[in-house]
Amino acid sequence: MRILAFLSLLALVLPEAGTASLPKEDRKRREEQLPREGDSYAALPVGNNVLNPDNYGDVIDLSNYEDLTDYGDQLLEVKVTSLAPPTRISPTESSTAPRTPSANPVMTRPITRGLLGSSANHGLPTCLVCVCLGSSVYCDDIDLEDIPPLPRATAYLYARFNRISHIRTGDFEGLTKLKRIDLSSNSISSIDNDAFRMLPALQDLILPGNQLAGLPVLPTGIEFLDVRLNRLRSSGIQPDAFRAMEKLQFLFLADNLLESIPGPFPLSLRLLHLQNNRIETMQRDTFCHPEEHKHTRKRLEDIRLDGNPINLSLFPSAYFCLPRLPTGRFT
Ligand SMILES: *[C@@H]1O[C@H](CO)[C@@H](O)[C@H](O)[C@H]1NC(C)=O
């Protein structure tokens, strides 16, 4: 009986081991697909499907993993009957079936789900499913659907390449040490307005490759904000969203659906990337104060407006305070 129990445990563990080698390859491919600054508009269509995690499975070459998976199947045959009844598989889960192409999608998914569930329900350490190193928590590429409960001391959170779709008000509650949140390449379409507001230490908020149409209230200490490759519309950004952010230096808003330039901006700003949006016009005072003819924005050296239907020659009095002209069409 003990041997049977051991075998069934082995059968539970091995398919996980088989898939555990997948993410590395998976991640490499994903990183190859991640856009770089300067990529052309054609390569980065808005609402970019390339970054949609649901599609990743399609491009993974599973031929290298057949042996491992078959091994798991043989073990499964030994003791399949002693396993718990199959857990319900939702449509989204079954869509990941290509990653574990054997006849046991039921085997691999609920294990992960079970661990995550228990960490959420019984307060077991998130560090069982994520890797915790010092004050950093790494939860990349583990099919998370929600932000897991985080240790109080978390300063850096990486939860890239998951399936998170919604950020809730309580998700980061009490995390006063949190400096960086990186949720690149999830499916985030909504963020509760207060979800980030009470994070006094937050400096870097990194959200490219999601489906955001708007921004929540942001803490004023943010220095680096990256919301590239989303579905941001001008109506989704509050008129004074950035004004009070007096430490903001880097603002990446490229590859969205913005119809206008979302100022005013704090004087701390050094980089403003707005390429590949739908901006057609700008105000005379978007960057410079029309009456104060001195160089008030020495720091703002990198403005990109290429890939927008705006003729920058039409606004000759808008740039006098800048150390450099914006990148874009001047004809
Ligand atoms: C852009 O504006 C300038 C200045 O008014 C004008 O001379 C030029 O023809 C415009 N270019 C286009 C492509 O509309």
- Indicate the pLDDT class of residue 295, thresholds 50, 70 and 90: low
Nearest-CA residue for atom 12 of ligand 1: 331
Q: What is the mean pLDDT of residues 278-288?
A: 93
Contacts of 35 (CB under 8 A, 6+ apart): 43, 44, 48, 228, 229, 255
**Beta strand pairing call for 302-304 and 190-191:** unpaired
- Which mutation among 280, 281, 282, 314 tests ligand 1's pocket best, with the greatest number of atoms within 8 A of CB? 314
Percent over 70 (pLDDT), the chain: 62
CA-angle at 64, arms to 59 and 65, nearest 5°: 95
What pLDDT, in 10s, does the model give residues 189-242? 999 999 999 999 999 999 999 999 999 999 999 999 999 999 999 999 999 999
Of residues 82 and 205, the one with the higher pLDDT is 205
Measured distance CA(185)–CA(26) in Å, rounded:
13
- Indicate the pLDDT class of residue 13, thresholds 50, 70 and 90: very low
**Ligand 1 contacts CB of residue 280 (under 6 A):** no
Measured distance CA(38)–CA(95) in Å, rounded:
33
**pLDDT at position 113:** 37
Q: What is the mean pLDDT of residues 64-75?
A: 32
Q: What is the mean pLDDT of residues 104-132?
A: 51
Q: Which two tokens stand for residue 37?
A: 């600054």
User: What is the rounded average pLDDT for all residues in the chain?
Assistant: 73
pTM over cut 0.85: no
Of residues 114 and 51, the one with the higher pLDDT is 51
**pLDDT at position 70:** 32
Nearest-CA residue for atom 13 of ligand 1: 331
Q: How far is the CA of 298 from the centre of ligand 1 (A)?
A: 27
Of residues 73 and 187, the one with the higher pLDDT is 187
